Chain A
Amino acid sequence: MSSDASDPAADTSEEAAEAAADAAAADVADDHAARATAAAAEGEHLLSIEDVDAYYGQSHILRDLSLHVEEGEVCALLGRNGAGKTTTLRSVAGARPPDVREGAVRFKGDEITDRTTEDISSLGISLVPEERRVFPNLTVEENLHLSDVARNWSNTFGRDVSMDHPGMSTEEVFEVFPRLEERQSQKAGTLSGGEQQMLAIARALKQDTDLLMLDEPYEGLAPQIIQTVEDAIERIAETGTTILLVEQNAVAAMSIADRAYVIDQGSIVFAGDSEQLRDDEKTRERYLGV
């Protein structure tokens, strides 16, 4: 283990305290930032994964894994193929498998480990899964409309819907991804890989999202499309939406992430700022191959 992963919380909470002081001094204009720093100062993370052990059938995939994400940051979870990145995101999203047997996942302080996928989603966690998984038989417009249906149905069934970051309207989503507007009445199955990725992110943005989890958003995309998606992710981050980004492409991920974790064989082997990881050649070579 090449870096100090033992107490990643120490320096972040120091930073948070500083930030809180700054925020207090500088006329609290931004409600959201103030709340974020206050929460962080109390040691409460937006998302925390605590000592999670997760299994696919008999295979032990996540081993005592812990990490946390602060409100407003872009956090990257990096690692090789099969290291447990997707399993981590699925565990948070409540998707089964994996089967989470030990540990806890907390969101805004509440334990969500055993809640259903749809409940977790309406609490404000959006997962953009691997392979995009847009509905190929539906048009772009219909794919996006499903996020409205989600909100309506959640209200109907009287579940608590997150309000911190109300989802974007279709018009706002089209501003982020103008290409989708051109394609709105086309079946999603006929879109290019890049367009499908845009659609997958777009429908997550339409949800009331406080934490956007992106699973390998650059996978299989041409370099210029990667740039488009990267710009979009940066724009989303600027709106204050917290992002947990999973990538094999460590270089691309580090360029937009504030902080990074490195996962190997189901455990965190590095935690720190992106610059720290950039400087930590040994970790990069050993676990990321870059």
Chain B
Amino acid sequence: MLLLQSEIASILLNGLQQGAIYALLGIGLTIILGTMEFLNLAHGALYLVGAYTGLIVFQETALSNGLLYSSGITTLGFEGGFLAALIVVPIVGFGIGLLMERFVAEPFYDRPETDQLLVTFGLALIVEETVKNVIGGNTFQSIAPSTILGVNVSQPISLPLVGLFPSWRLFIIAIAFLVIGLTYLAIERTDFGLVVQAGTHDSEMVRILGIPINRSYSLVFALGAALAAFAGLIGASIQTVSPQIGTQQALVPAFLTIVVGGAGSVRGAIAGGLVLGLIISAMTQTYSQWAQIVLYLFVALMLVFKPEGLFGSAEVGE
């Protein structure tokens, strides 16, 4: 199959967009897993909450089923616009992260991983079912504003090589990479980030050095949660929203991302996310029915031939 230049360019752009979502999810999952040695299967639920919060803040969402609908409420939301969602969603994620750390994660830090798996998977199901019951199990259209700060984003713009590409999606890619970039700087250039990086490798050694890393646990958890919620908003901007997306579109890809990138590495999460995003994008545009198969085969091959991931080190997991 011969690809046109424009097709290759659009594979790249779509890949960047999907990759950004995976990277945001992967960063959050990896810093929580590394620093607290806490396996959070509710990470996808945070993505789900982010997506619905975005939907509700962005527009008046018309309900057609669910508990609220049957009790007479037909619309839900604020018409706050996309900029409002950009601010509200991470804050909501951060707040939920603080609560989750305090009431769900903390009591399980010293418990076996299987207990952590059960409690967080249970939480993920509770969130998913609650959304299904209260807001309804139907699928909502993705968020698509026509203007942002007065700039019309509904018209496709013409890019060299690519041809026409929705300007809205360019904006989404830009904002996602801005957040990834800021997170990367915060991790790479600050003392807090240094402690998180060290902690993702060996949190006990950080404490032996006299750093009270557990005091930053809630902050790390909340940061990871805010990034996951933000990823949910980005996802909701380009894909439809339904109660199942937490697991299908977020949790599983987040784990694949840190497998590819290397557990305990923020850089790895970014690289892993982009690699997976590009694979999915390329396959979807060419042999879409093989996309999932190729994706999982790739991850399986990574596990066999480079189990430490792109940026992981052999020490992880010892």
Report which A residues bind B (CB closer than 8 A): 93, 95, 116-118, 121-122, 126-127, 129, 133, 135-138, 142, 145-147, 149-154, 157, 159, 189, 203, 207
Contacts and interface: CB of A to CB of B under 8 A. Distances in A.
B198 interface: yes
6 contacts: A117-B204, A118-B210, A135-B202, A136-B313, A146-B195, A147-B209
Given A135-B197, A146-B194, A152-B191, A157 B205 contact: no
B207 A135 contact: no
B193 to A, nearest CB: 10
Given A135-B198, A145-B194, A118 B211 contact: yes
Interface string B286-318: 000000000000000000000000010101000
Interface string B172-184: 0000000000000
Given A135-B197, A136-B313, A145-B194, A127 B202 contact: no
A145 B197 CA distance: 13
Given A137-B201, A138-B197, A146-B198, A121 B315 contact: no
Contacts of B197: 135, 137-138
B265 interface: yes
B187 to A, nearest CB: 11
A181 B124 CA distance: 49
A65 B64 CA distance: 70
Closest 6 CB pairs of A and B: A121-B210, A150-B210, A117-B207, A122-B210, A136-B313, A118-B212
A22 to B, nearest CB: 35
B208 interface: yes
Contacts of A147: 209-210
A151 B191 CA distance: 12
B206 to A, nearest CB: 7
B206 A153 contact: no
A137 B313 contact: yes
Contacts of A116: 207, 212
Interface of B: 191, 194-195, 197-198, 201-202, 204-215, 264-265, 311, 313, 315
Contacts of A149: 191, 194-195, 211
B265 A137 contact: yes
Contacts of B204: 95, 117
Contacts of B313: 136-137, 189
A121 B207 contact: yes
A135 B201 contact: yes
Contact of B206 (A127, A146, A189): A146
A147 B207 CA distance: 11
Contacts of A203: 209
A110 B313 CA distance: 40
Contact of B194 (A133, A138, A151): A138
A127 B205 CA distance: 9
Given A118-B211, A153-B191, 14 more contacts: A95-B204, A95-B208, A117-B208, A118-B207, A118-B208, A129-B208, A135-B205, A136-B313, A138-B194, A138-B198, A146-B195, A150-B211, A152-B191, A157-B212
Contacts of A154: 210, 212
In this complex, the member of A126, A127, A136, A149 whose beta carbon has the largest number of chain B beta carbons within 10 angstroms is A149
Contacts of B202: 133, 135
A127 to B, nearest CB: 5
Given A133-B202, A135-B202, A136-B315, A153 B212 contact: yes
Contacts of B206: 146
Contacts of A153: 191, 195, 211-212
Contacts of B209: 121, 146-147, 150, 203, 207
Contacts of A95: 204, 207-208
Nearest to B315: A136
Contacts of B195: 146, 149, 153
A115 to B, nearest CB: 12
Contacts of A137: 197, 201, 264-265, 311, 313
A55 to B, nearest CB: 15
A207 B194 CA distance: 17
B212 A146 contact: no
Nearest to A131: B318
A151 B210 CA distance: 8
A189 B202 CA distance: 13
B203 to A, nearest CB: 10
A146 B201 contact: no
Contacts of B207: 95, 116-118, 121
A136 B264 CA distance: 11
B211 A133 contact: no
A157 B210 CA distance: 12
In this complex, the member of A95, A116, A133, A152 whose beta carbon has the largest number of chain B beta carbons within 10 angstroms is A133
Given A133-B205, A135-B198, A138-B198, A157 B215 contact: yes
B212 A207 contact: no
A152 B210 CA distance: 10
Nearest to A127: B208
B214 to A, nearest CB: 8
Contacts of B198: 135, 138, 146
A90 B154 CA distance: 62
In this complex, the member of B202, B207, B209, B313 whose beta carbon has the largest number of chain A beta carbons within 10 angstroms is B209
Nearest to A187: B313
